[in-house]
Each structure stands twice: as C-alpha cells, then as structure tokens.
Structure 1
Amino acid sequence: MRILHTSDWHIGRTFHGNSTLDALADVLAALVAQVREHEVDVVIVAGDVFDSATPAGPAYTLLGDTLVALNEAGAKVVVTSGNHDSAARLGFQARLLRDGIHVLTDPVAVGEPITIRDAEGPVHFYGIPYLEPAIVRQHWPDAVLRTQAQTMAHAMGLVRGGMAAHPGRSVAVAHCFAAGVDATAGLEREVRQGGLDVVPLSVFDGPDYVALGHIHGRQQLTDRVRYAGAPLHYSFGEQSKPRGSWLVDLDADGLAAVEWLELPVPRRLVTLTGTLDEILSADNVAAHAEDWVCAVYTDALPQAEPMRRLKERFPFCAMVQHEPADVVERVERSYSARLRTAVTDTDRIEAFLAHVRDGRGATERERELIRDVLDERVAAEALV
C-alpha cells in the first residue's frame, strides 16, 4: 500500500495580513497531481486542516474540493483534527462527504480503526484527534490525564488494544509535540516547549508507521515516526525548510520504504539584512522583487518610512525590523535622572534622544538643526 502523509494545511491562515488561500489551492492541486502520478492509495492529513475553529466559507470550499479531488485521483483519505480545528465542525462535515473520505474527530473512537485493504490484506488506520487533557478526561474518568504525555499514552494504549483485536498492518495518525523535535523546524505558534507538552517517543511504539502533525517543518524522529510539516511557508522562520510530504510504502511485513516528495513554493521567502540603502540596492531588487521579503535594516538610527520605501522596490515586503549593527552600551540611568543633569534646552533634547534611541544622542547635523530651531524660538520670543 502506498500512503501520502501530509499535515497542517491551515486553510484560511494569513501571512502578515495577506491571504494564502490562492497559494494553498495551487499547492494542494500539485498534491493531487502527485497522488495521481505516484498511484497513492491513501492520503493522510494529520490535523490542523483549518487555521481557525470558525473558518470562513471559502476555506470550507477549498477543503471539500481538495478532498474530492484526492478521492477522484484514486486515493482514500484519512483526516484528523488538530488544535486549530473545531473537532465538532470538522466532524459534522465528515457526514456530508462521499465514501472513501474519512474525517476522524471523536476521541472516544481512537481504538476503532478505519480499515483499507490492498493485495496483501488489511491496513488499519487509527486516527487520534488533538487531545486537550482538560477536555477529554471526561471520556476516561478512571485515567490520570493531566498532561499531553499522559493523554497521548492513554490514547495509544487504546490503539494497541485495537491492534490486538484487528490483526494486520497498522498506521497511527496524531497531532502533538513529540520528544526529539528539532526546535528550528518550524514550531507551531502555540507550542509550549515545557515538559508538560512533550510526548515521549516510546508512546508511539506498536504501529508500522506513525504520521504526526503539529510541527511545520519535516521531521524524522525514527524510521517509522515522522512529521510531514505544512505545505506552505507560514512564517519567515520556516523559509529555509522544504515543503512537501512523505510517500510511505507498506509491504506484507510492514514499513518498506519512505520517500520525500517536494511541493512547489508559490512565492519564495527571503530575509534581507544590511543598511536600508544596501537592502534597496539594484542587485537585491533584481533578485527578490517577486519574493516575500523580511527586511532587517542595521542603520544606527531608525529610518524615515522604511516600509513605504521598501514596498516601492519590493511589492511583497511583508515585514521590516530595525536591528542596529552597532549597539551602544546602555547607561543605566532613568530619563528623570538624565533631565536632572540637563542645564540647557539643548541638553534636555539630547537627554530625550539618548533615552529613546538606546543611548544614541544627536548627530552633528541634528545638533545644528536643534540650535537653529532654538535660536528661532528665542528670536520669536524677543519680538513679543
């Protein structure tokens, strides 16, 4: 059996205020083409189908169209809910879908497999929706469920019980933060890295393959436990991470091979660092005018209207940050303490500038302007 493992579509998410719906539609169309090209039997979507518990209408349309297209390309589809999804809304939609598309959102049913057969016999798919301990402990009152680790361990215990009752190959699908994740891989924005949320890898012992979601960069934790990551870059921190999905082959004995399939990147992300003039250079514009741009300018002082100037050259500039290359050592004096030592108006202005510019006072040109303004004020008062 050939399985395509994907996750974290986040339909409806914006990128610095820009819609990603059209870009995601293009990428998901490429995913459908891969299913057809590689003769995929089953597509897994491991949670965070939507970016919001209350997605807008176009998000539902894109999901429905994509699931139907995957099925028409020859694949069964197994979808679980993530922490961004409303399990109730996603589960309700499942009843409206055609045969061959399975949306698994009920925590009580984690030990009950979706069984799909190939020439070698049955493969049992166990879907584990995102499990918030405080919400799901009502279903298992006899279990101690205070942490994600405890909750996932209980759910995987139910999965292993299902495996004992249903002999054959097995695949588990879950949405959580597993131990061993590379922190640079593109962590979910809500992921807490404290011990309470980390699920030990031993929890996933048993199935032939474990398809995880929640991390936005691909991860291979073991040969049989992996994250596929998100199909789009949803932050500049993810820009160097490949986008794609895992192509998983099961033979009669279990896991046979896993291959990474790249997905297209509709618009590249790039971070440009340097002075504002360097970032705006002709070479940069020629290379990155069509990219999403994060500009980190290193001028000693904040520049006037940097975003406006950047957008004139980079229409898709989404973010600008000021990070001076030479950081002046801070003098630990309060603004009021600086004012107490100021004698003249010039001193007071100098103290203010140093206070709001990390210790940098006026430049020589600024001092000239300050003197001119103060002289004009004195002259105006003399005429009154």
Structure 2
Amino acid sequence: MKFLHTSDWHIGKVLKGRSRLDEQRAVLREIVQVTRDHRVDAVLVAGDLYEASAPSADAQQLLVQALLTLRRTGAEVIAIAGNHDHAPTFDAYRPLMASAGITLAGSVRVAADGGVVKFTARSTREPVTVALLPFLSQRYAVRAAQLVSTTPREAATGYGRLVRNLLAALAAGFRDDAVNLVMAHLMVAGGKFGGGERSAQSFLEYWVPADAFPPEAHYVALGHLHRRQSLSAPCPVHYCGSPITLDFGEQDDPSMVLVVEAGVGAPARIVAEVPIGSGRRLRTVRGTVEELTRRADSLGDDYLRVLLCEPARAGLRQEVQRLLPNALEVRIDPEFAAPVHTAGSSAPADGVERSPAELFHAYCVTRNLVDERVEALFARLHDQVTTAHA
C-alpha cells in the first residue's frame, strides 16, 4: 500500500506582515494533485496544520476544504494536532470530521478511544494500523512535582520515558499481518532544525530518544521539524518537512511531501520525495543599493531579506523597498554595522564642552549614520523643545 506523509502546513502564517494564504491554497492544491497522481491509500498529516491556536475564519475554511478535497480522492485522511494547533478544538470537531470520513486527533488517547486507527488499503486490501500521538506538552507529560524537583536533563528524561511508554501502549495492538504505522508530532533527539523554528516552539528540553519508537512499526511519520530528514532508529523514522518555506532561516531547505510504500512483513520505503513549488521562494540578498539596482530584474517574485553593504542613512529602507517591493526585511549587513560601545570599550570623548548638535553628530558617526538631513531635523526639534521650555 502507499501513503502520503506531510506536516507543518502552518495555514494562516504571516511573514513580516504579508499574508501567505493564497500561497498556502496553491500548495494544498499541489498536495491534492500528488495524492491523485500517486493514487495513495492514505494521507497522513503529522501536525501543525495551523500557524496559530486561534486561526482566522479564512484559515479554517482553507483547511476544511483541503481535508475534504483530499478525502474525495478516495484516500483515508488522518491528521493530528501539533504544538501550534489547539487540541481541544480538534477534538470538538472530531465527530463532524468523522462523518466526512476524516480522522482528526487533538489530544493523546488510549488505543480503544481513537488512539489507534484501522482501515483496509483500497489498493492492496491489506489491513493498516496507525498509532496516533498528537503533540504532548511538557506540562502534561512532566508532572509539576518533577519540574520543581528535577533538573532540566532529568525532566527531559522523564518526558522521553513517558512518551516511550505511550508509544508502547499504542503499538500493543500492532499485528504481524498488518501494515503498522506511527504518526507523531514531537522533537526526536538528533533531529535538525530547518532554521525558522523558534526555540520556544521546539521545546528542546523535552525531546524523545530515537529508540523510543516500537521496532514493529513499518514507518514513523513525524511532524514538528521543518527540514526533511531521516533518523537512525529501530524502524524507519522520517520528518517530511514543511511543504512551504516558512521563514528566511529555512530558505535553503527544499519543500516537499513524501510518498511511501509499505507492505506486510517488510520495512516501508520512500518511493518519491515530491517537490512542492507553489510557495514563493525566500531569498537573502546582499549588496549596495547600486548593486541591487542592477540585479533587481533577476530577483523575480521572491520574498527578500536585504542586507545592505553600505553605511546607514536616512531614507535608505524606503529607497530599497521602492526598488524591491518584495523586500520584507531590510537591514545593514553586520560587516557594515557600527560597533556597539560597551562598558570598558573606547567611546567618544567626554561631551561636557560640546553642544547638543555636536554630541548628536558624534553619536551618528559611531553608528555610521552621517546624514545632513537627520542632523538638521535634530537641530529643529532641539530648537522647538528648548524654546517651548524657555
């Protein structure tokens, strides 16, 4: 049988103030097409379907439409909550989604109460068992007493042990004559960040060892890390990565979904890493304004992070954004940034004998911001303030 492994859609994600809903809609259309083209028996969505726990109505509508469209391909559709999703809301909509043939799991459940999903593959008629482990917060997994009385390392060990026990309990129903799968949203030791995840979202203190997964599993479909990667474990363990580049830190990571083939009695194998190209490319460019002017036509429709290789001056950001409308972030390259004076370092000479205008000029020099217009504006503001208080 074949299934599609995807995760970390982050529907509703806004990048530097730009909505990406249209891109996300196009990405999901691509995923639906891959599902049709490969005639997969199931689509596994391993968490972080939304960007926020309280998604907008437009984001919710897009997700519901995508899940229903995937289901209309004839594939089983199974999705779990990630750390960005609101697990109780997923559980509230679980019965409604079930009526459409879609399995939605928000919180961890025992096998008999939906923690394990069983179906028959339409292509091979093989029985399939999927153990579901939505994101498990440390507040639930590690008791308050442990957090208070143990070190972070001990707390992590406790979390990993609890997850191992949960996985073992869910896998107790695995059968020798079935394809046995695990889908989870968590951080596995040895996994590498895509570059865009913030540490607060990744819960580095609460990781799970790779050997926590049951060796009876034919495949472990993971979500949470945005970079495509495989981990050494007693069974095949894979992160599929995000199908859209979410942050400039991930700009070099390919966006894809995985098509996996599994059969009774043998480990699963990935038959296709299908590129997803509907999301706009994120790119970091460096240069002076003059250099960027010459390159402007070659940058296309990419979202840009611009690092300027020249000193700061008034109006520089606006000048770059007029030149490059898709420049979402504009800043001075660190090599050209002025050094920050700290205690004990050399600093401008004592300013007791200098006027406010001279002091301001000296400050601008230390920041590589020498601009007559800025200094003239400072002089006018200073005159207004001192006149008002005369």
Q: Which bracket does the TM-score occupy, shorter chain normalised?
A: 0.7 to 0.9
Kindly tell me: are residues 252 and 188 of structure 1, through their superposed partners in 2, closer, same or farther at Cα, counting changes over 3 Å?
A: farther
> Residue by residue, what CA displacement relative to the aligned partner does 1:201-249 show, whole Å, maximum 9, x if unpaired?
1112322211111111212123711111222111111111111111111
Tell whether the 8 Å contact from 1:51 to 1:84 is kept in structure 2 after alignment: yes
Is 1:265 the counterpart of 2:278 in the alignment?
Answer: yes
> Residue by residue, what CA displacement relative to the aligned partner does 1:69-125 show, whole Å, maximum 9, x if unpaired?
101112111100011111111121221123431011231336741012233632211
Identify the residue that residue 52 of structure 2 maps to in structure 1: 52
Give the Cα separation in 1 of the matches to 2:341 and 2:325: 40
Figure out how many residues of one structure are paired with residues of the other and give that number: 359
Within 5 Å, give how 1:57-136 maps onto structure 2: 57-97=57-97, 98-109=99-110, 112-118=115-121, 119=124, 121-135=126-140
| Partner secondary structure for residue 124 of structure 1 | strand
Task: State which structure, 1 or 2, has the greater radius of gyration over its C-alpha atoms.
Answer: 1
CA RMSD of superposed structures (Å):
3.2
Is 1:229 the counterpart of 2:237 in the alignment?
Answer: no
Tell whether the 8 Å contact from 2:193 to 2:226 is kept in structure 1 after alignment: no
Kindly tell me: are residues 344 and 56 of structure 1, through their superposed partners in 2, closer, same or farther at Cα, counting changes over 3 Å?
A: closer
Provide TM-score, normalisation by structure 2. 0.81
Tell whether the 8 Å contact from 1:148 to 1:197 is kept in structure 2 after alignment: yes
Tell which deviates more after alignment, 2-11 or 268-277. Answer: 268-277
Give the Cα separation in 2 of the matches to 1:359 and 1:314: 25
Tell whether the 8 Å contact from 2:202 to 2:224 is kept in structure 1 after alignment: no
> Residue by residue, what CA displacement relative to the aligned partner does 1:280-329 show, whole Å, maximum 9, x if unpaired?
x23x11111421111111213x1322332222222211111112534666
Give the Cα separation in 2 of the matches to 1:116 and 1:60: 27
Provide TM-score, normalisation by structure 1. 0.83
> Residue by residue, what CA displacement relative to the aligned partner does 1:22-47 show, whole Å, maximum 9, x if unpaired?
11011100100000000111111111
Kindly tell me: are residues 233 and 132 of structure 1, through their superposed partners in 2, closer, same or farther at Cα, counting changes over 3 Å?
A: same
Is 1:201 the counterpart of 2:210 in the alignment?
Answer: yes
- 1:10 CA displacement: 1.0
- 1:189 CA displacement: 5.5
Tell which deviates more after alignment, 59-68 or 269-278. Answer: 269-278
Q: What letter matches 1:316 in structure 2?
A: N
Kindly tell me: are residues 256 and 89 of structure 1, through their superposed partners in 2, closer, same or farther at Cα, counting changes over 3 Å?
A: closer
Structure 2 unaligned regions, length at least 5:
384-390
Within 5 Å, give how 1:364-383 maps onto structure 2: none
Give the Cα separation in 2 of the matches to 1:359 and 1:342: 20
Tell whether the 8 Å contact from 1:233 to 1:243 is kept in structure 2 after alignment: yes
| Partner secondary structure for residue 154 of structure 1 | helix
Is 1:309 the counterpart of 2:310 in the alignment?
Answer: no
Structure 1 unaligned regions, length at least 5:
378-384
Identify the residue that residue 291 of structure 1 maps to in structure 2: 302
Kindly tell me: are residues 28 and 358 of structure 1, through their superposed partners in 2, closer, same or farther at Cα, counting changes over 3 Å?
A: same
Tell which deviates more after alignment, 110-119 or 39-48. Answer: 110-119
Kindly tell me: are residues 256 and 183 of structure 1, through their superposed partners in 2, closer, same or farther at Cα, counting changes over 3 Å?
A: closer
| Partner secondary structure for residue 34 of structure 2 | helix
Kindly tell me: are residues 361 and 237 of structure 1, through their superposed partners in 2, closer, same or farther at Cα, counting changes over 3 Å?
A: closer
| Partner secondary structure for residue 231 of structure 1 | coil
| Partner secondary structure for residue 191 of structure 2 | coil
Kindly tell me: are residues 77 and 338 of structure 1, through their superposed partners in 2, closer, same or farther at Cα, counting changes over 3 Å?
A: same
Is 1:161 the counterpart of 2:169 in the alignment?
Answer: yes
Tell whether the 8 Å contact from 1:46 to 1:82 is kept in structure 2 after alignment: yes
Identify the residue that residue 35 of structure 1 maps to in structure 2: 35
Give the Cα separation in 2 of the matches to 1:272 and 1:106: 42
Tell whether the 8 Å contact from 1:46 to 1:79 is kept in structure 2 after alignment: yes
